[in-house]
């Protein structure tokens, strides 16, 4: 036997890796982001965050989670007082 490098699983009918098709629940997403389920559910109800509804339940893809994470990013050089030497 020869060793082969593992390739990401792909769905049967497309070239999209299975990992990209993974959807996370509100609880799983809240845990990943370090926020409460209640806070995230409130944002979903107010339609303030990107998500996908499947069978009436809000689900998040990796892209949605990255967008949520990036939305709170702050660049300290772009805000606040500038110090002069």
- Record the tokens describing residue 61, joined without a space: 């893809």
| pLDDT tens digit sequence for 23-36 | 999 999 999 999 99
Calculate mean pLDDT across residues 6-10: 56
Q: pLDDT-derived band of residue 39, with 50, 70 and 90 as boundaries?
A: very high
CA 72, CA 35: separation in Å to the nearest integer? 12
Residue 29 near residue 20, CB atoms below 8 Å:
no
DSSP, collapsed to helix, strand or coil, labels residue 19 as helix
Q: Check residue 22 and give its pLDDT.
A: 93
Q: If one looks up domain 20-70 in CATH, what number appears?
A: 1.10.1660.10
How far is residue 55's CA from residue 64's CA, in Å, rounded to a whole number? 18
Q: Report yes or no: 18 and 10 within 8 Å, Cβ to Cβ.
A: yes
pLDDT tens readout for residues 10-25: 555 567 777 778 999 9
């Amino acid at each position: 036997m020869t060793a082969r490098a593992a390739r990401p699983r792909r769905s049967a009918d497309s070239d999209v890796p299975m990992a990209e098709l993974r959807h996370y629940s509100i609880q799983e997403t809240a845990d990943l982001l370090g926020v409460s389920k209640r806070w995230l559910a409130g944002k979903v109800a107010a339609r303030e965050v990107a998500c996908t509804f499947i069978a009436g339940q809000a689900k998040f893809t990796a892209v949605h989670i990255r967008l949520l994470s990036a939305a709170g990013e702050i660049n300290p050089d772009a805000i606040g007082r500038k110090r002069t030497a």
